[in-house]
Structure 1
Amino acid sequence: MLLDWTTVILLIGIGLLLIVVEFIFVPGTTIVGILGLILTAIGVWIGYAALGTETGHLILGGTVLIGGLAFFYSFQSNSWARFALKDQNKSRVNEEHQHTLELGQEGRTVSALRPQGTALFAERHYEVQTQGEYITPNTAIRIIRLNQNKITVEAIS
């Protein structure tokens, strides 16, 4: 009788713990949650089979009540706050310093453009791109399109 109670309590306790862990730590439906559900169901089933129907009803009701309280406490309290990620990415594009380039301005490639690379305009390096063609390093180029932070160039022939 004591072994039956111990088995039931351990199975239900481990099962509920795995279900809570799956909800809090592991995103989506995974083996952790499924295993927790199976262990809890086996614990309740053993309670019905070994301890009788009335005791099984009490075990089932207690399991639902304890599981509901565990979920409520887990989500309402800040008990999991120390495990949560709190860092925020506050980076942004530096848009107040727009480039001072103009259409038709000429420069030289620093690296190969395949189709993207680095070019030199007015003693400053810029990331540029072509319309798909390959341009070798140290080639004269011209700006053909400016679109926010995207600079499109072509080789000067």
Structure 2
Amino acid sequence: MLLDWITVILLIGIGLLLIVVELVFVPGTTVVGILGFVLTAIGIWIGYAALGTEVGHIILAATVVTGAAAFIYSFQSDSWNYFALKDQNRSHVNEEHQHALEVGAVGKTVSALRPQGTAIFADRHHEVQTNGEFVSPNRPVRIIKLNQNKIIVEEAS
């Protein structure tokens, strides 16, 4: 009888812990959350099978109340904020040198442009793109359009 209680408490405890881990560390429906739900359900089922219907009802009610209380408390206590990402990356490609280039400037590709890649203009590497053409590495390219942070190029003759 004591072993049945220990089994039920461990299965439900580990199951609820895995569900919390699913919510905090591994968002989305993954194996961790499903395994937690299955372990909790098996713990409740063993409670019904080994300890009787009345005790099974009590175990089920206690599990639901405990799970709901932990979930509600965790949101009210702002404990989720310790795991939340608060920093944002607001930078853009070529942001620091966006006015140094002009339409018509000629440079050389570093990588293949398919249609995006890297080219050198005025001894600086820039992310560039073509209008859909393929340009091999180490080929001369000319800037045909500057659109905010996009540098549109074509192969120079």
Deviation at 1:88, TM superposition (A): 1.9
Kindly provide the amino acid, as one letter, of the partner of residue 146 in structure 2.
N
Q: Which residue of 2 aligns with 1:4?
A: 4
Deviations 1:17-58 (A, max 9, x none): 111111121122112111111111111111111111111111
Query: What secondary structure sits across from 1:80 in the alignment?
Result: helix
Q: Which residue of 2 aligns with 1:101?
A: 102
Kindly provide the amino acid, as one letter, of the partner of residue 91 in structure 2.
S
Pick closer, same or farther for the CA change 1:132–1:10 going to 2, 3 Å: closer
Deviation at 1:82, TM superposition (A): 2.5
Distance 2:60 2:88 in 1: 43
Q: Which residue of 2 aligns with 1:147?
A: 146
8 Å CA contact retained: 1:113, 1:129: no
Unpaired segments ≥5 residues, structure 1: none
Q: How big is the alpha-carbon RMSD for the aligned residues of Structure 1 and Structure 2?
A: 3.1
Unpaired segments ≥5 residues, structure 2: none
Distance 2:75 2:134 in 1: 53
Pick closer, same or farther for the CA change 1:22–1:142 going to 2, 3 Å: closer
8 Å CA contact retained: 1:118, 1:125: yes
Among all aligned residue pairs of Structure 1 and Structure 2, give the percentage whose two residues are the same amino acid: 55
Query: What secondary structure sits across from 2:11 in the alignment?
Result: helix
Distance 1:73 1:19 in 2: 15
Which protein is bigger by CA-based radius of gyration? 1
Distance 1:31 1:100 in 2: 51
Distance 1:19 1:27 in 2: 10
Q: Which residue of 2 aligns with 1:50?
A: 50
Deviations 1:93-135 (A, max 9, x none): 6389534624xx464x445674452244xxx757466654558
Query: What secondary structure sits across from 2:145 in the alignment?
Result: strand
TM-score relative to the length of structure 1: 0.72
Q: Which residue of 2 aligns with 1:14?
A: 14
Q: Which residue of 1 aligns with 2:61?
A: 61
